[in-house]
Amino acid sequence: MLLKPHSCIQVFEGAEDNLPDRDALRAALAIRQLAEGLTADDLLLVLISGGGSALLPAPIPPVTLEEKQTLTKLLAARGATIQELNTIRKALSQLKGGGLAQAAYPAQVVSLILSDVVGDPVEVIASGPTVASIHSVQDCLHILNRYGLRTALPRSVKTVLARADSDPHGPHTCGHVLNVILGSNALALAEAQRQAEALGYRAVVLSTAIQGDVKSVAQFYGLLARVAGARLALPGPGASVEEDERLCELAADLQLPDLQLKEALEAVVGARGPVCLLAGGEPTVQLQGSGKGGRNQELALRVGVELRQWPLGTVDVLFLSGGTDGQDGPTEAAGAWVRPELTSQAAAEGLDVATFLAHNDSHTFFCRFQGGAHLLYTGLTGTNVMDAHFLFLHPQ
C-alpha cells in the first residue's frame, strides 16, 4: 500500500495462510471500534471477499482466538464445507453473522462483495459480517456431532453456545444495510466461455456449484470425459448405456442444483470441432496425510487417474483445475492440468500416483513430474471467486 504521509487510511495485515492470528484480531477490534463510533449521518462502505472470515476474528469471550482457530482447523481437516465452517464461526464471533452491521447501527451500511461461495449466499461469504445470522445453536451442535467434535469442545465454546439464543446478533432484518454481489464464479465462467468460443471451441458451462468430496468430483469428470468423448467421436463406438447411467448417478450424488449435463452432451453431439466443458465451485479434501497440495492440484491428479480407466478412442482429452485467486492451498501454483497418459508417464519416472494421493501430496508430485510442467502458475490475481474446471476434448 502506497499511502501519503499522515494518510487517514489505516492498513492492517494479518491472517497469514488464511488463518486468523493476533494481527487480524487487532484489526478486527479496530474495525469494531470504528463501527461503534458511527452515527445516523455516516455511511460505512464494506468491501468483502474470500478470506474475510480469517481477516475479521473477534471471538466472544471467554473463547480465545487459539481455541476458535483449533476448532476451525479440526472441522476443515474432517471435510466440513465452507457453509458449515462459517456457521460455527458466526456463533462464536462478535462481528460475523451481522455483528459488524449491528455495531455500525444507526449508520447506513453498503457492502460490495466478491463471492467465493457456491450460490453466492451473502450470509455465508466471509461469514456474513453485514448479514444477520439465521442459524441456531442447534445447527452448530448438529455440525459438531456430524464430525465427531462435540465431546471434544473446550469449556469456553460450550459456555458461549449454552448462553446464546437462536439469533445472537440482533434482528433478522437489517434495514440499514445494502449487500451487493459484484463478482462471482458464474461471472468468471461466463467470460471464460466467451474466451473459449473466440478460440474456436464449442463451450458449455456445466455448473457453478461443484461441491463434495474431491474423489467423487474426480470420478464424475473422468466418466464425463468418456461419455462426452464418445459422442464427439461419432460415428464410432459410443459410450454404453451403463456408462451413461453411471454418469447420471454420479451427478445425482454430487447434488448440483444447476447442472446442465443433458444440454452439455447435446452440444457435444452437435459440435464439429473441439469442445470445452466448464464448471466451477469448491470441492473439499479430507486430509489423511501431511503432504503439500491444494484442492485443485489434488482434483487434477485424481482426474488423471480416472482418465486412465476409460477408453477415450479418437479424442484427445485435457483436464485443468485452477483457483481464481492464483494460489492453490499453501503453494505458489494456482492448480494443475492432466492428460490420460499421466499415470503411465509418472510410473516411467518412478512416481507412484497412489502414494502421493494417500499423503495428500499432490504439489510434490506435480513438482517432480516432468519437471513441474503440469503446474499452472498465474501469480496472485487479486480476486477470489472459487475454482474453475476445464475439460477440453479435441477430435483427432
| DSSP string of 338-383, one letter each residue | E-TTHHHHHHHTT--HHHHHHTT-HHHHHHHGGGGTTEE-----S-
In three-state secondary structure terms, 54 is helix
pLDDT tops 50 at residue 170? no
| Mean pLDDT over each residue of the chain, to the nearest integer | 92
- Could you please report the per-residue DSSP string of 177-232? EEEEEEE-HHHHHHHHHHHHHHTT-EEEEEEEEE-SBHHHHHHHHHHHHHHHHHHH
Confidence of residue 1 (pLDDT cuts 50, 70, 90): confident
Torsion angle of C-alpha atoms 146, 147, 148, 152, degrees rounded to 10: -120
Please check whether residues 241 and 353 belong to one and the same domain.
Answer: yes
How many other CB atoms sit within 10 Å of the CB of residue 238? 17
How many other CB atoms sit within 10 Å of the CB of residue 184? 22
For residue 254, being part of any structural domain is answered with yes
For residue 141, being part of any structural domain is answered with yes
d(CA 316, CA 52): 40
For residue 33, being part of any structural domain is answered with yes
Mean pLDDT of 191-196: 98
Please check whether residues 245 and 286 belong to one and the same domain.
Answer: yes
Among the candidates 183, 202, 226, a domain finishes at 183
Please check whether residues 179 and 193 belong to one and the same domain.
Answer: no
Question: Cα Rg for the chain, rounded, in angstroms?
Answer: 23
- Could you please report the per-residue DSSP string of 303-350? HHHHHHHS--TTEEEEEEEEETTS--TTSS--EEEE-TTHHHHHHHTT
Please check whether residues 68 and 197 belong to one and the same domain.
Answer: no
Question: Domain limits at 298?
Answer: 185-395
Please check whether residues 215 and 145 belong to one and the same domain.
Answer: no
CB of 201 within 8 A of CB of 275? yes
Q: What pLDDT, on the 0 to 100 scale, is given for residue 165?
A: 58
Among the candidates 162, 183, 204, a domain finishes at 183
Q: What pLDDT, on the 0 to 100 scale, is given for residue 239?
A: 65
Strand arrangement of the beta sheet that strand 315-323 belongs to: 202-210, 275-281, 387-395, 315-323, 335-338, 375-376
Confidence of residue 171 (pLDDT cuts 50, 70, 90): very low
Confidence of residue 59 (pLDDT cuts 50, 70, 90): very high
Q: What pLDDT, on the 0 to 100 scale, is given for residue 326?
A: 96
For residue 47, being part of any structural domain is answered with yes
Torsion angle of C-alpha atoms 106, 108, 112, 117, degrees rounded to 10: 30
Kindly report the CA angle at 165 between 161 and 167, in degrees rounded to 5? 110
Q: Tell me, rounded to whole angstroms, the distance of Cα 8 from its chain centroid.
A: 34
Please check whether residues 177 and 198 belong to one and the same domain.
Answer: no
Please check whether residues 239 and 336 belong to one and the same domain.
Answer: yes
Please check whether residues 344 and 362 belong to one and the same domain.
Answer: yes
Mean pLDDT of 373-379: 98
d(CA 54, CA 37): 24
Among the candidates 183, 207, 223, a domain finishes at 183
Q: What pLDDT, on the 0 to 100 scale, is given for residue 332?
A: 96
For residue 3, being part of any structural domain is answered with no
Please, is 267 exposed, middle or buried when counting C-beta atoms within 10 Å of its C-beta (0-12, 13-18, 19+)? middle
Amino acid, single-letter form, for residue 362? S
pLDDT tens, residue by residue, 255-285:
999 999 999 999 999 888 999 999 999 999 9
Please check whether residues 157 and 270 belong to one and the same domain.
Answer: no
Q: How many domains does the chain have?
A: 2
For residue 9, being part of any structural domain is answered with no
What percentage of the chain has pLDDT greater than the value 70? 96
pLDDT tops 80 at residue 172? no
Please check whether residues 251 and 379 belong to one and the same domain.
Answer: yes
pLDDT tops 50 at residue 295? yes
Mean pLDDT of 345-352: 98
Q: What pLDDT, on the 0 to 100 scale, is given for residue 163?
A: 85
Give the global pTM. Answer: 0.82
Report the range of poorest mean pLDDT among 1-5, 167-171, 322-326: 167-171
pLDDT tens, residue by residue, 130-160:
998 888 899 999 999 999 999 989 999 999 9
Strand arrangement of the beta sheet that strand 177-183 belongs to: 43-48, 108-114, 177-183
CB of 172 within 8 A of CB of 181? no
More confident residue, 18 or 229: 229
Amino acid, single-letter form, for residue 122? V
CATH number of the CATH domain containing 65: 3.40.50.10180
Mean pLDDT of 19-33: 94
Q: What pLDDT, on the 0 to 100 scale, is given for residue 51?
A: 84
Q: Which helix (H) or strand (E) holds 108?
A: strand 108-114
pLDDT tops 70 at residue 101? yes
Please check whether residues 162 and 285 belong to one and the same domain.
Answer: no
For residue 6, being part of any structural domain is answered with no
Q: What pLDDT, on the 0 to 100 scale, is given for residue 223?
A: 96
For residue 1, being part of any structural domain is answered with no
CATH number of the CATH domain containing 310: 3.40.1480.10
pLDDT tops 50 at residue 214? yes
Q: Tell me, rounded to whole angstroms, the distance of Cα 132 from its chain centroid.
A: 22
Please check whether residues 98 and 200 belong to one and the same domain.
Answer: no
